Amino acid sequence: MATLIFLGFITVMLFYSISLYNHLVSVKHAVAKAWANIDVLLKQRHDELPKLVEVCKQYKQFEQSTLQKVIEARSQVQAARQKQDIPALGQAEDMLRMGLGNIFAVAEAYPELKANENFMQLQARITSLENGIADRRELYNESVNINNVQIEVFPASIIAKIFSFTEKPLLEFSSAEKSDVDMKQLFS
């Protein structure tokens, strides 16, 4: 009788361990999926930005320094995206978003550019992508949070250590990104 109870206990523990392992795998893949969703939108925005810069360049008086900052930030986002370097991506995203904000603000001073159909379409497309990226960032961070909690709670932490499940970094932003935009500074 004791042997049956012991075998029953071992069987229950085995199935419980398998269940925990499968749950951790599911959570890990949710993080990967959330990252892939961000990656798709970043790639789309990466492809749209040269078009926006080219339209702006057609206006010779348009500020070259603003365009150069966007081009540099775009390169940094691409490099961080390819390396899946989440902290570097957060910093590069800050620079890119500030650069885009500056382009859109400076465009206000150029009525011909502001009225250009291509510019308006690209601005709408990039704004739509920015909103999508913001939504996906939230989903990614939620997935990372679930992953990080699940690999720390007992008894899942035992399975996580045995099978080398690791914490994932949150996609964080600088305090400048979180603060209100200084509209006076943008137009000066």
Can you give the CATH number for the domain in which 70 is found?
1.20.1440.20
* Domain total of the chain: 1
Task: Please state, in angstroms and as integers, the Cα–Cα distance from residue 112 to each residue in 73, 118, 119, 132, following that order.
Answer: 26, 11, 10, 29
Amino acid 180: pLDDT: 47
Q: Please give the structure tokens belonging to residue 28.
A: 């890990």
Three-state secondary-structure class, residue 149: helix
Amino acid 174: pLDDT: 64
129-176 confidence digits (pLDDT tens): 888 988 999 999 999 999 999 999 999 999 999 999 999 988 876 655
Residue found under tokens 């500020």: 63
The answer to the question of residue 28 being in a domain is no
Residue range(s) defining the domain that contains residue 103:
34-186
The answer to the question of residue 76 being in a domain is yes
The answer to the question of residue 120 being in a domain is yes
The answer to the question of residue 78 being in a domain is yes
Amino acid 186: pLDDT: 41
Mean pLDDT by 10 residues, the chain (188 residues): 91 94 95 91 87 79 80 89 86 86 81 79 87 90 94 92 92 58 45
The answer to the question of residue 12 being in a domain is no
Contact between 162 and 133 under an 8 Å Cβ cutoff? The reply is no
DSSP label at residue 170 = -
End-to-end, the C-alpha distance of the chain in Å comes to 85
The answer to the question of residue 140 being in a domain is yes
The answer to the question of residue 152 being in a domain is yes
Give the Cα-Cα-Cα angle 162, 165, 170 (nearest 5 degrees): 155
The answer to the question of residue 139 being in a domain is yes
pTM of the full structure: 0.72
